[in-house]
Amino acid sequence: MITEKTPLAELPRVSLTHAKKLEKLSIYTVKDLLMHFPSRYEDFATVYPIAEISADMNATIIGEISNVKTNHIYKRHLTITSATISDASGSLPLIWFNQSFIEKSLAEGKKYRVSGKVIYNEKSGLHFSAPNIEREERLPTSTGRLVPTYPETAGITSKWLRWQIAMLMEKAVLPDETLPYKILSELSLPTIKTALKLIHFPKTMDEATYAHKRFIFEEMLILQLITLRTRAQLMREKSQPIPLDEKLIQKFVVSLPFVPTDAQRKCAFQILTDMSKQTPMNRLLNGDVGAGKTLVAAIAALQCASAGHQVAILAPTEILARQHFSTLLTLFEKYNFSIGLLTGAYKMHGTHPALAQDITRPRILDQIKKGEIQIIVGTHAIIQEDVKFKDLALIIIDEQHRFGVAQRAKLSQKSIESNDGNKRSVPHFLTMTATPIPRTFALALFGDLHVSILDEKPLQRKEIKTSIATPDKRDFVYAFIKKEIAAGRQAYIILPLVEESDALKDIKAATEEYESLSHTVFTDYTLGLMHGRLKAKEKERLMTDFKNKKVDILISTSVVEVGVDVPNATVMIIENAERFGLSQLHQFRGRIGRGAHQSYCFLFSEQFYSQRLKALERFTDGFKLAEIDLKLRGPGEFLGSQQSGLPDGAMQNISNIKLVNLTRKYAKEILISDPLFKKHPQLHDTVDRYYTNIHME
């Protein structure tokens, strides 16, 4: 018996080859296939007489098929299958390229329904090019109706998907209801079975919209249930209270060579207050580029380590882990606790106070387990099975690397397994993000997660002067870079890398740009080339050389490390700036302007009147730019659905405050009346499935 949980490979007309290809679309079971929704619809509902057909129409005709044949053009490795369709008003050719199997599926003298695009050219005249075709007596799936088009992959077409989904619906293989019937009734939403029929095979666009609304509501409700349940679980846990030592913090702040901003003081106080409670802290520190998140995190680490507990600080990359480690060594040089560096790619790991002594991995693991190292900085290597803590009380996560819920759970478990005699204690959590999030958006996205916002920059920072540069200004900009280098400065040249599929092409382009500039414009300077295919050690060496002024100009694809601090770099060129989102451009720009010297950013683009580029030229406030970016691109592109793991419907509507509040209201009602989902098993399964994929922190 086929159910919603049946693997697709077990369906009678799905081969193992098809099942493997479907995995690329994250489709594994019958339910996954039914929940794979159309991205758009083609309107082929109107049937036209052939006499009324004209070029560039999307049309459907019904007629008799004749003259079916296939010609092979061997020199061009091409097959052309053609046929003629006729009705009472006339006839029209049908043409398919490299689809010779079509010939076997057509029976001359039989009536067919044909839908597609009408094309005109001098050779073939007016004709249908690669139309969908079905026998007239068949129920329409790909012709004569609103025809859904789906996200596809190699070997899996929308036509094949429509065929499979239609067969499942004919057999009434539909999933059980996930939403409580009370909600469906109060909001006049369709049941899941009705909604699936309407979303895959609607008669009108109103029906498709009606179905979409139901699934958007469901996805947002799931998000709210996960957010509130996570918060409720955390509130039931106990953590080690770390009392606020005001004298310790004041002495540390006074010793700094600069004055912290009011925003840094406020955020640090919020965090230290949370840490002093028995309820685990769960706070997001949201700050603009250069707003000083590291100092705030360091204050929290200082309080925790000075109280005798351990701190784990997770960074997204090897380079940033080493930078955080180096920064903390400097800040805590006069304090009597040890700092360790733990990463996956390095055999040796430095510790403090014995700065000159690098030690092996087994030795540092032993020191962590015994509690001899209070602050452990590292990458995902920190959550490996062989890492054991004695007394882990605080976890600080640099959110750039998108640690998921499952990985966070591993860290919590490590705290529970600590040798501190307190088996029920979980750590305090502080997550940092360098992507400024508008306040209303943060509220919608993070629910009851506490948010601290660093909305000031240090006083000593100069604003970066940003200009849109058209191609005719290139010689001027190159001359400007030479002038800055002559004054002892350095520069970045950023080349676009938008999708992973473009990686090899863009790396080739970056390499060609590097070779060209090295041998023409900047022959007297040292250039470096950074891209995603470099090994971690190569990136480390290159960034170290750049930081130590051994490289004058760093040419990089968009993998240039966010957060790496090179105060001497004062100029940045961003090529094809129109290919990047506003927030991403702001992140790139944040690599400069980190020292005492004036910095300059040039956005090369032919789109001189681009709203995004004009906004970047005008504003340097990341929160203001984030609000503009949210309006221009929508929440899906703004946050990045591939990175967040959020379901598409929730992602696209995450800034819809009315919907957020409505779903939160119902989520609270469900959790109060049925906290274990005993009355809602389908809802429970859906929540659990999304829970492992969504990155809430």
55-82: pLDDT as tens digits: 999 899 999 999 999 999 887 889 999 9
Q: What is the structure's pLDDT at 207? A: 95
Q: What is the structure's pLDDT at 461? A: 74
Domain assignment present for residue 111? The answer is yes
Q: What is the structure's pLDDT at 136? A: 93
Q: What is the structure's pLDDT at 354? A: 46
∠ CA 398-260-339, nearest 5°, is: 45
Calculate mean pLDDT across residues 389-416: 65
Domain assignment present for residue 586? The answer is yes
Name the token pair of 197: 């029929």
Q: Is-contact 646 455, C-beta < 8 A?
A: no
C-alpha 279: how far from chain center: 30
| Element housing 125 (H / E) | strand 125-135
- Flag the least confident range among 257-271, 280-294, 420-434, 605-619: 420-434
Counted domains in the chain: 4
pLDDT surpasses 60 at 411:
no
Calculate mean pLDDT across residues 421-429: 71
Nearest to 673 by CA among 253, 182, 75, 78: 182
> Can you tell me the distance from the alpha carbon of 557 to that of 436, in angstroms, rounded to the nearest whole number?
22
pLDDT tier, 348 (very low <50, low <70, confident <90, very high otherwise)? very low
What percentage of the chain exceeds 90 in pLDDT?
A: 44
pLDDT tier, 361 (very low <50, low <70, confident <90, very high otherwise)? confident
- pLDDT for 158-184, tens place per residue? 989 999 999 998 888 888 888 999 999
In angstroms, the Cα distances linking 25 to 22, 155, 340 are 5, 12, 41
Calculate mean pLDDT across residues 390-400: 84
List of residues 6+ apart from 398 with CB closer than 8 A: 313, 314, 315, 316, 320, 324, 432, 563
DSSP class of residue 316 equals S
List of residues 6+ apart from 603 with CB closer than 8 A: 466, 467, 468, 469, 574, 577, 585, 613, 616, 617
* CATH code for the domain in which residue 350 is found: 3.40.50.300
Q: What is the structure's pLDDT at 574? A: 93
Calculate mean pLDDT across residues 307-332: 88
SS (H, E, C) 395-448: EEEEHHHCCCHHHHHHHHHHHHCCCCCCCCECCEEEEEECCCCCHHHHHHHHCC
Name the residue with tokens 């009606």.
210
Regarding whether 414 and 478 lie in a shared domain, the answer is no
Q: Three-state DSSP class for 468?
A: strand
Task: List the domain range (segments joined by +) for residue 1.
Answer: 1-41+152-175
Domain assignment present for residue 585? The answer is yes
Most confident of 193-207, 375-389, 441-455: 193-207
pLDDT surpasses 60 at 637:
no
SS (H, E, C) 351-403: EECCCCCEEEHHHHHHHHHHCCCCEEEECHHHHCCCCCCCCEEEEEEEHHHCC
Regarding whether 73 and 160 lie in a shared domain, the answer is no
Alpha helices in 96-204 (DSSP H): 101-105, 158-170, 181-187, 192-200
Q: Which residues are bridge partners to 586 per DSSP?
A: none
pLDDT surpasses 60 at 512:
yes
Q: What is the structure's pLDDT at 408? A: 52
> Can you tell me the distance from the alpha carbon of 97 to that of 100, in angstroms, rounded to the nearest whole number?
8
Domain assignment present for residue 285? The answer is no
- Flag the least confident range among 46-50, 158-162, 181-185, 360-364: 360-364
List of residues 6+ apart from 21 with CB closer than 8 A: 153, 154, 155, 156
Out of 144, 167, 200, pick the residue that ends a domain: 144
Regarding whether 257 and 370 lie in a shared domain, the answer is yes
Out of 571, 603, 619, pick the residue that ends a domain: 619
> Can you tell me the distance from the alpha carbon of 274 to that of 271, in angstroms, rounded to the nearest whole number?
5
Q: What is the structure's pLDDT at 415? A: 52
pLDDT surpasses 60 at 419:
no
> Can you tell me the distance from the alpha carbon of 506 to that of 171, in angstroms, rounded to the nearest whole number?
48
Regarding whether 72 and 17 lie in a shared domain, the answer is no
Regarding whether 104 and 34 lie in a shared domain, the answer is no
Domain assignment present for residue 631? The answer is no
Q: What is the structure's pLDDT at 498? A: 41
Regarding whether 89 and 105 lie in a shared domain, the answer is yes
- pLDDT for 206-227, tens place per residue? 999 999 999 999 988 888 888 7
> Can you tell me the distance from the alpha carbon of 547 to that of 569, in angstroms, rounded to the nearest whole number?
9
Name the residue with tokens 């077990």.
10
> Can you tell me the distance from the alpha carbon of 404 to that of 531, in angstroms, rounded to the nearest whole number?
25
- pLDDT for 577-635, tens place per residue? 888 878 778 888 888 988 889 999 999 987 777 888 999 999 888 778 877 877 776 65
Out of 411, 433, 455, pick the residue that ends a domain: 433
Q: What is the structure's pLDDT at 400? A: 47
Q: What is the structure's pLDDT at 405? A: 47
- Flag the least confident range among 175-179, 445-449, 498-502, 673-677: 498-502
Regarding whether 338 and 322 lie in a shared domain, the answer is yes
Q: Three-state DSSP class for 97?
A: strand
Could you count the other beta carbons within 10 Å of the beta carbon of residue 23? 12
665 vs 346, residue with greater confidence = 665
Q: Is-contact 635 656, C-beta < 8 A?
A: no
Global model pTM greater than 0.85 = no
> Can you tell me the distance from the alpha carbon of 257 to that of 202, in angstroms, rounded to the nearest whole number?
66
8 vs 694, residue with greater confidence = 8
Regarding whether 367 and 254 lie in a shared domain, the answer is yes
Name the residue with tokens 């106990």.
238
Name the residue with tokens 């005492």.
596
553-556 sheet: strands from edge to edge: 465-469, 600-604, 569-574, 490-494, 553-556, 527-530
Could you count the other beta carbons within 10 Å of the beta carbon of residue 523? 9
| Element housing 580 (H / E) | none
Q: What is the structure's pLDDT at 318? A: 80
In angstroms, the Cα distances linking 511 to 490, 533, 591 are 20, 12, 21
Q: Environment class of residue 656 by beta-carbon count within 10 Å: exposed (0-12), middle (13-18) or buried (19+)?
A: middle
What percentage of the chain exceeds 70 in pLDDT?
A: 85
pLDDT tier, 404 (very low <50, low <70, confident <90, very high otherwise)? very low
Mean pLDDT, rounded, of the chain: 84
Calculate mean pLDDT across residues 22-34: 91
pLDDT surpasses 80 at 242:
yes
Domain assignment present for residue 609? The answer is yes
Regarding whether 76 and 166 lie in a shared domain, the answer is no
Q: What is the structure's pLDDT at 128? A: 94
Q: What is the largest CA-CA distance in the chain?
A: 95
- Flag the least confident range among 305-314, 412-421, 454-463, 588-597: 412-421
Regarding whether 93 and 34 lie in a shared domain, the answer is no
∠ CA 382-384-387, nearest 5°, is: 70
∠ CA 338-343-345, nearest 5°, is: 140
> Can you tell me the distance from the alpha carbon of 477 to that of 475, in angstroms, rounded to the nearest whole number?
6
Q: What is the structure's pLDDT at 59? A: 93
Q: What is the structure's pLDDT at 696? A: 43
> Can you tell me the distance from the alpha carbon of 2 to that of 197, in angstroms, rounded to the nearest whole number?
18
pLDDT surpasses 90 at 92:
yes
pLDDT surpasses 90 at 660:
no
Regarding whether 156 and 18 lie in a shared domain, the answer is yes
Could you count the other beta carbons within 10 Å of the beta carbon of residue 75? 6
Regarding whether 298 and 376 lie in a shared domain, the answer is yes
- pLDDT for 531-566, tens place per residue? 877 887 788 888 889 989 999 999 988 777 555 778
Calculate mean pLDDT across residues 433-447: 62
